[in-house]
Amino acid sequence: MSLDMNVLLLSPGYPPEMPYFTRALAASGARVLGIGDSPTGSLPPEVRAALSDYLQVESLWDEDALVRSVAGWVRGREIGRVECLWEPGMLVAARLRQDLGVPGLTVDQTVPFRDKEEMKRVLDAAGIRTPKHRRCAAVSEVWKAVEEIGFPLIVKPIAGAGSQDTHRVRDDKEMRTVLTGIGHVPVVSVEEFVDGEEYTYDTVSVDGVPAYENIAWYRPRPLVARNEEWVSPQVIALRDLEAEHLADGIAMGHAVLKALEFEHGFTHMEWYRTADGEVVFGEIGARPPGAHQVDQMNYVGDIDVFDGWARAVTGQEVGVSAERKYNVATVYKRARGRGRIQRVTGVETLEEYKDAIVWENLLPIGAPRRDWRATLVSDGFVMLRHPDLETTLRIADAVGEKVVLFAR
């Protein structure tokens, strides 16, 4: 099928999941015009095969220069969409849409997806429950927020993704320590700490309506996992989206999409459910989740969500089955020690549960250990699935406890 549509795609080869989206976009019938700061020869082979054309720019972050370069490059070609699935490039993509007259999120519509305080301001106005929050650009403003909100609270960057530079603060002493460590962050959000289970709500939407939905459960919540090296974090994509305790979170997700005027493509939201059943918004990105969570969605229903996204942004029916066959757990591993991976224990556990394991991606012997604070994937992961949730959790816990990488 030929759509006769040119799609500009920023950073088609990075982060690591991007080649799958690039390939899917080409397979949907679109002509994919890639823009990146890497030489063509360094792009993954599947990306080079999927691209109809490629523009190498000096920097993806020099917005004015990039817009000028792209304008000259695409002159005479009609552009149907401009897409970016990497958080830092979303505002650049929005600027290109506006300058080229392409439909999609404008700069003003994109800002709330990048600025956590603006995001919450819009949702507060829509009546959606968010944590109490304040924008702080000076130490004095942080202390004023402490007085207004009270401990415990969360301090995190206004922009960004994941849980880096995010801290739970319980008293004045901890706050002074945190302020010393985040001096490189110019503006922070200080917000109420919400004590509860943390979930995602992931969608592929068409005309503002989710055509595909996914909920994943963080075990433990990312704030704990980011600050405790010994933890083997788990992300569990849940099979049963009709479970009673998820209903309010899904309803809130729909309200968030409407308030932010999101129309086509992927979103990744995080939300909390407290012990008394209250649901509280966390944050949202107009992008897919990272750390192979889209692969996880694929294993839930034996589907291709990459393809579903590509079809959504090119105006086609998503064509992804909503049937959910399995709960899928990803267990991320962090080696003990420093240096290179020397040995792995607990491999008999992997053998015991081999029928449930769909992907074992641990670092090989001799590979240098990664910085666990810089990446959720850390030193690899094991992905597994089972129709029964309790069985899934039991196997995931066994992998988390018994499979150990050692570095030296």
DSSP 144-155: HHHHHH-SSEEE
What lies within 8 Å, CB to CB, of 72 at 6+ separation is: none
> What pLDDT is stored for residue 227 in this prediction?
86
Give pLDDT, residue 24.
97
Residue 223 has a pLDDT of: 86
**6-104 and 132-192 share one CATH topology?**
no
Between the alpha carbon of residue 200 and those of residues 57, 303, 330, 379, the distances in Å are: 34, 19, 14, 23
Q: Which CATH superfamily is domain 132-192 in?
A: ATP-grasp fold, A domain (3.30.1490.20)
pTM for this structure? 0.93
pLDDT value of residue 2? 45
Output the DSSP codes for 348-364.
HHHHHTTTTEEEEEEPP
Nearest CA among 176, 208, 209, 227 for reference residue 322? 209
| Residues 6+ positions from 177 with CB-CB distance below 8 Å | none
Q: Within the chain, which residues score under 70 in pLDDT?
A: 1-3, 160-164
The CATH number of 6-104, from 1.20.1180.10, 1.10.12.10, 3.40.50.20, 3.40.50.300, is 3.40.50.20
Query: What is the pLDDT, as a whole number, of residue 184?
Result: 86
Task: Write down the pLDDT at residue 205.
Answer: 96
Answer for the pair 22, 49: CB distance below 8 angstroms, yes or no.
no
CB atoms within 10 A of CB 127: 8
**Closest among 213, 215, 216 to 233, alpha carbons compared:** 216
Report the alpha-carbon distance of residue 181 to residue 124 in Å, rounded: 30
Say what percent of the chain tops pLDDT 90: 90
SS3 277: coil
Domain boundaries, the chain: 6-104, 132-192, 326-408
pLDDT at residue 216, rounded to an integer: 98
